[in-house]
Amino acid sequence: MDLGIKGRKAIVCAASKGLGKGCALALAREGVHVVITARTAADLAKTAEEIRKATGVTVTEVAGDITTEAGRAAALKACPEPDILVNNAGGPPPGNFRNWTREDWIKAVDANMLTPIELIKATVDGMMKRNFGRVVNITSSAVKAPIDILGLSNGARSGLTGFIAGLARTTGRHGVTINNLLPGPFDTDRLRSNIATRARNSNRSAEEEAEIAAKSNPSGRFGTAEEFGAMCAFLCSVHAGYVTGQNILMDGGQYPGTF
Ligand code: NAP
């Protein structure tokens, strides 16, 4: 299927690894020129070169922390008028809410709620004026089925989700869709490091922990960044113009509800 977005421009945040990288690669394969960001310049340069070689599109690297004003300004300078914006950043750490300070909460809200809102604020009016735009926010399955130790994530991402639900209904008639993609367990560095932490607290090896977690999923495995990227690219396609304000769960069937 031709997604109809060849030649479009995208900003993909937090994209040197994992799900962000999967999205950048999938968009680039459709002929979208991408600006990718991450904090570690060396990893970012490696990923940029990999995407260039695989696809031939223009890949611009912007090293920086997307949760800071300077990081966002640098990404927007590299691509002031994106047609596509993929919002992503690292997730907050697990813990017990009794130990979290106001600063911990502000950091989580900054990264996982206010950063995407700021980037949308900077780009959505231009998209609406040009009558085409796609925004995809990478959130988490924890928005739909909260995970107790991930309270910072549950809270901050739910704030974003509520905001998007209202905004997305105001942009559709101007050709701009805004949707959230909710990953369950995907095989990325973040997932592997969570599993390693769990293994340290049990008598099992990281490999054993990973196998148990993968087998417990109805699909019997973790998702891949390629699968995630493909869904993102479809949401950014011309064919998805009637999908807006949705929370699309990708979790191999882990969420047990009917809806
Ligand atoms: P990952 O494999 O650790 O990759 C994270 C990417 O984001 C890296 O490229 C990292 O590069 C970049 N990054 C992190 N913080 C950044 C920041 N402040 N500014 C710019 N770039 C930043 O993680 P992932 O598994 O793809 O997860 C992506 C998001 O999905 C996270 O919010 C995570 O909580 C959420 N999620 C993931 C899963 C899963 O199973 N993988 C499940 C639910 C939710 P640098 O470190 O160099 O900046």
DSSP structure string for 109-144: HIIIIIHHHHHHHHHHHHHHHHT-EEEEEE--GGGT
Q: Which atom of ligand 1 is nearest to the CA of 16?
A: 9
**185 within ligand 1 shell (Cβ under 6 A):** yes
Report CA(13)–ligand 1 centroid distance (Å).
9
Q: Which of 129, 119, 118, 231 is nearest to 175 (CA)?
A: 129
**37 within ligand 1 shell (Cβ under 6 A):** yes
Apex CA 71: angle with CA 69 and CA 73, to 5°? 65
With tokens 């998702």, the residue in question is 223
Q: Is the pLDDT of residue 201 over 90?
A: no
Which residues are bridge partners to 33 per DSSP? Answer: 9
In whole angstroms, what is the distance from residue 259 CA to residue 253 CA?
11
Q: Is the pLDDT of residue 37 over 90?
A: yes
**144 within ligand 1 shell (Cβ under 6 A):** no
Report CA(19)–ligand 1 centroid distance (Å).
7
Alpha helices by DSSP H, the chain? 18-29, 41-55, 69-78, 102-109, 115-130, 151-171, 189-200, 206-216, 225-235
Report CA(150)–ligand 1 centroid distance (Å).
15
In whole angstroms, what is the distance from residue 154 CA to residue 230 CA?
25
Report CA(173)–ligand 1 centroid distance (Å).
32
Please, which pLDDT band fits residue 247 given cuts at 50, 70 and 90? very high
**222 within ligand 1 shell (Cβ under 6 A):** no
Q: Is the pLDDT of residue 203 over 90?
A: no
In whole angstroms, what is the distance from residue 154 CA to residue 164 CA?
15
CA-nearest residue, atom 3 of ligand 1: 190
Tens of pLDDT, residue by residue over 73-110, are: 999 999 999 999 999 999 999 999 999 999 999 999 99
In whole angstroms, what is the distance from residue 75 CA to residue 63 CA?
9
User: How confident is the model over 206-229, as a mean pLDDT?
Assistant: 97
Report CA(130)–ligand 1 centroid distance (Å).
30
Tokens standing for 192? 């592997």
Neighbours of 6 (CB within 10 A): 11
Please, which pLDDT band fits residue 177 given cuts at 50, 70 and 90? very high
Q: Please give the pLDDT value at position 198.
A: 85
Please, which pLDDT band fits residue 194 given cuts at 50, 70 and 90? confident
Q: Please give the pLDDT value at position 11.
A: 99
Which residues are bridge partners to 10 per DSSP? Answer: 34, 84
Q: Are 135 and 179 in contact (CB under 8 A)?
A: yes
In whole angstroms, what is the distance from residue 10 CA to residue 119 CA?
12
C-alpha distances out from residue 60 to 74, 219, 254, Å: 11, 36, 36
